[in-house]
Amino acid sequence: MEIEGPGIVVERVPHGEGDYLVTLLSPDGLRRGLAKGGASRRQGGIWEQGNIVAARWVARLPEQLGAYSGELVRPVAALAMQEPDSLAVLRAACQLTAQALPEREAAPETFQGLLRLLAGIEIKGVALPALCRWELVLLRELGFGLDFSSSAGGNDRLAYVSPRTGRAVTLSQAGDWANRLLPLPDFLLDESEPDLKDCVAALRLTGHFLARDLFGARHRPLPPAREALYEQLSLRLEEKERGDAG
C-alpha cells in the first residue's frame, strides 16, 4: 500500500539508532510512520516539527506502521525560530494536533487551518491570532464547536460565552452573570486585529473547552506546550497591566 501527498510534521520521536517515528497530518488525518535514517545529517532537517513536506508512506498492509520518505516543501521550524512567540505557537499547535486527533480519520478543515497558521509563522503578530482561530476549527471538526450564532441588535453585541453550553451571549443577556462567563474577544467574530489581552482571553476560552470536552474526556491534561504558551502570555499581560497602572 502506498500513499503520497502533502503533510505537516506534528511529531517526531527518536526510534532506534538514527531513525524517527514521525506523525504527519494530511487532509486524510494523522498517520504515523518510520522515517529510516531520519536523524541523519541529510534528512534531519526534513522531519522538524512544523515542517511542510511532500511525503510518501509505504506499507505491505494498511494496518501496519509503514515507512515514510519525503522532501521538504517549507522549512517552517527554521522560520519560527526567528521569533520566540512563533516557536511557542508552532509547538502548541503541533502538540494539540498530535494528541487531539484520532489517527487515520480525515480532518480537512484542521489541516487547511494549520497550513494557514504555518504560512505566516515568521510574521510577528500573525501566528498567535491564527492559533486562536484555528483552535475553534479544531474543536468544531471534532464535534465540540462553539455556538456564536446568537444575534445581537442595536448597541448590543456578543461579548461572552457560557462555559457550560458553549453558546455566545450578548452584553445585555449576560447582566449580573458576566463574571461567571468567558469573555469573547471581537477578533474571533471578525477580522479585527487583536491585542495581547484579546489573545489571552481567546486562549482561555478555547482552552476551557479543549480541556473539558476533549482532553478531559480522556482524563488527560492539555498538552504541555499549550499550557506553557497560555501561562507565558498571561504573565506577560499581568506585567504589562502593572506597568500601565504604574
Model confidence over 10-45: pLDDT tens digits?
999 999 889 999 999 999 999 999 999 988 988 879
Q: What is the pLDDT of residue 67?
A: 93
Q: What is the pLDDT of residue 55?
A: 95
- As a whole number of angstroms, the distance between CA 246 and CA 64 comes to 61
- As a whole number of angstroms, the distance between CA 87 and CA 224 comes to 14
Q: What is the pLDDT of residue 219?
A: 92
Q: What is the pLDDT of residue 46?
A: 95
Compute the CA torsion angle 9, 90, 205, 102 (nearest 10 deg).
Answer: 10
DSSP string, 34-82: EETTTTSTTTTTTT-TT-EEEEEEE-SSTTS--EEEEEEEE-HHHHHTT
Other Cβ atoms less than 10 A from the Cβ of 234: the count is 14
Model confidence over 155-212: pLDDT tens digits?
678 999 999 999 999 988 888 889 999 999 999 999 899 999 999 999 999 999 999 9
Q: What's the grid cell of residue 234?
A: 498571561
To the nearest whole number, what is the mean pLDDT of the chain?
93
Q: What is the pLDDT of residue 245?
A: 79
Model confidence over 71-122: pLDDT tens digits?
999 999 999 998 889 999 999 999 999 999 999 999 999 999 999 999 999 9
Model confidence over 197-207: pLDDT tens digits?
999 999 999 99
The model's confidence at residue 150, banded by pLDDT at 50, 70 and 90, is low
Model confidence over 227-242: pLDDT tens digits?
999 999 999 999 999 8
Residue 183 sits at φ, ψ, to 5 deg, of -60, 140
Q: What is the pLDDT of residue 93?
A: 98
The model's confidence at residue 124, banded by pLDDT at 50, 70 and 90, is confident
β-pairing, 52-58 vs 67-74, is antiparallel
